[in-house]
Amino acid sequence: MKTLLALAAATLLAGSFTVNAAPADWVGKELPSLGVDYLGTAPEYKGKPVIVEFWATWCPPCRASIPHLNEVNKKFKEKGLVIIGVSDEDKKTVEEFRKTVPMEYNVALDKTGKLGEKFGITGIPHAFVVGKDGKIAWQGHPMELSEEVIQKFVK
């Protein structure tokens, strides 16, 4: 009986680590309301392709992905693409960071961290591509986001 209980406990424990290991699969689901505070004017993104990226100033991989997202923004902004970088840090920290690292796309604050929780974010950076239909079509590390993937959604 002890062995059976130990096995059941181990299975439950392993299952909980799997659930928390990566964001839930959002592909095919509607983009929920973001409910964030924008630094600057809030973009109009309904009916447009969107990249929502979770990041932080203290995160080296996040900092490394910013030039890539700046390039993506340059290439596809005129075709309607909207990029929103979401941090759960305070406004002062993000504004100071942006003085030294230009972010040429929309930046927003998830002050409560609830949006990141809703998406199941446990590691950053993490990006979601949303099609014009409002449904999430891709998710992953922003450096893995190729022009070919983006091209599919800006047509």
> Model confidence over 78-135: pLDDT tens digits?
999 999 999 999 999 999 999 999 999 999 999 888 999 998 888 999 999 999 999 9
Whether the bond into 125 is cis, omega within 30 of 0:
yes
Helix axes 60-76, 147-154, angle to 10 degrees: 40
Domain ranges of the chain: 24-154
- Containing H/E element for 129? strand 126-130
Copy the structure tokens of residue 100: 């030294």
Dist. CA 155–CA 152, nearest whole Å = 6
The phi, psi pair for 138, rounded to 5°, reads: -155, 150
Please state the CATH superfamily assignment of the domain spanning residues 24-154 in this structure. Answer: Glutaredoxin (3.40.30.10)
Q: Are 136 and 26 in contact (CB under 8 A)?
A: yes
Q: In whole angstroms, give the CA distance from residue 20 to residue 121.
A: 9
pTM of the model as a whole:
0.82
In this predicted model, what pLDDT tens digit does every residue of 50-65 receive, in sequence order?
999 999 999 999 999 9
Give the residue with greater pLDDT, 87 vs 30: 87
